[in-house]
Amino acid sequence: MTLRTHSLAALLVALAAPAAVQAQAGDPAVARIGSYDDGVIAIMKAKLGASARTDRFEPLVKSYYDMPGIAALVVGPAWSSASASDKAAAIAALTRHSAVSLARNFKEFSGERFAVAPQPIAHGAEKVVKVTINSDTLFYRMRQAGGTWKVVDVISGGVSNLALQRADLASTVQSGGIAALVKKLAQLDTVK
């Protein structure tokens, strides 16, 4: 190999390197939210009724949200002494509740643009991913769960959905435990 051929090969490697680095630089939390948004849009475009939308949102919630972590935070101190079956019931009820909420908020596609900010905001071991939907802004608080980035909270208009859920359900959990929480969510989630 001549010096000229060697230099040309080095130049080609140098030119190719930034593209490879750039391809690897995409943040996995941001990529997860982009994929989640694609799922939301697909459900909206399907033009389904409320019950069918809820059924389609439920696996999306299971895949992209840390529902065991969310359930533990919503239930609060009672979580540590709850039985495995009570924990499973709380997770299932909160998962369904999240799916119902999404079905109510994302009914049909009308050209909405979901713009995911390319860089998350690091917050300790968590990351916050900003998504703008037309003129509304959502912040998805995420953390590692089971080896992947999952949503723990959604903040809209400066208000934490997780904090609202916990406040709304605290007295129910306090007075009747997880069984009362499951019953209350079932009543709230009656799909109309």
* pLDDT tens sequence across 115-148: 999 999 998 999 999 999 999 999 999 999 999 9
Confidence of residue 67 (pLDDT cuts 50, 70, 90): very high
Interval 59-79 mean pLDDT: 97
Residue 127's contacts (CB-CB under 8 Å, 6 or more residues apart) are: 27, 29, 120, 121, 141, 142, 143, 149
Quick one: pLDDT at residue 21? Answer: 28
Q: In the chain, what are the domains?
A: 27-188 (3.10.450.710)
Asked whether residue 16 carries a pLDDT value surpassing 80, the answer given is no
* pLDDT tens sequence across 22-43: 323 489 999 999 999 999 999 9
Do residues 52 and 155 lie in contact, with contact meaning Cβ atoms separated by under 8 Å? no
* pLDDT tens sequence across 48-61: 999 999 999 999 99
